Each structure stands twice: as structure tokens, then as C-alpha cells.
Amino acid sequence: MKKPPQDLSQLLHQQGQMPNLAEKAELLLHLNHYVKQVLAGPVSQQLKVANLRQGVLVIETTTAAWAARINFQKAKILQQLQAETLPMLSAIEVKVNPSLVLYETKPKIPQHHISETAATHIEALAEHTEGSLAEKLKRLAALASRSRQS
């Protein structure tokens, strides 16, 4: 007989490297949140705490321009982290990672909205068109009234 699947929380807290990895991941998440609070403004959206190894905090950013801005504030970040969170922190390293842009979450704008003006123009065009194109234009114009109702 097959073994039933184990709960993920049980696997994370068993022997081996998993508990260490889970603890480090939580620490990096906390540090990421903390650094973004320290660097308020648009720069906070362009960075990510990537690693903490041998007392060096690694911060990734999308471009060299943002890296320069973070480097100017590196002493402030280091001082605050040493005082409040990580006294063993010795340095901060800033790296450029252009692929970080891919992981940003941007709000999706609905693309199926048609204004009333556009619907009126499409209906007028449909009146002067024949065949399947006229039907499709009428359905497209009807989207405007449906989007207003919802």
C-alpha cells in the first residue's frame, strides 16, 4: 500500500536541511519587508533582499541607476539593521538583476471595456456594413452596454 501524503508543515519541521531552509526563507522575507520600509518611495519597489551569507546582506535591484541610489543609502540601512534586527551584519552588497522586472506584479487592466462613444460609432458602422462583419460589429458594440451593467 502507498503512504498517504505528509503535511508540508510537518516536513518543514523534521530533521535535515528543510527546517534551516524554511527559517532562512522566513528571515529573508522579514528582511525584505524591513529594508523596503527603511527605503520608502519608488526605490522600495525596485529591490529585493536576495540572500544573507557570512554577515553580508545581498540586495538585488532592476537597474544600475537604482543600485546607485541604494548604494547612497547603504550606510543608513546597515546602521538600522545592526541596531534593530541583525547585530552580526557586517556589509550590504547591491547587485543588478534585470530579470527581477519579470517578477513584479502589476495590476491587470481589463481590456474588454468599450466606451459609449466608441459603441455608438461601431453601431453606426455596423448599419452601413453587410454580412457577418455587421453582426460582429453589433456584438462588439453590445459589450459597452454589458460592461455598464456589471
Architecture of the 12-100 domain: 2-Layer Sandwich (3.30)
Average pLDDT value over all residues in the chain:
82
DSSP the chain: -PPPPPPHHHHHTSSSSHHHHHHHHHHHHHHHHHHHHHS-SGGGGGEEEEEEETTEEEEEESSHHHHHHHHHTHHHHHHHHHHHT-TT--EEEEEE-GGGGGG---PPPPS----HHHHHHHHHHHHT--HHHHHHHHHHHHHHHHHHH-
pLDDT at 96: 93
Tens of pLDDT, residue by residue over 39-82, are 878 888 888 999 998 989 999 999 999 999 999 989 988 999 89
pLDDT at 93: 94
Domain boundaries, the chain: 12-100, 116-147
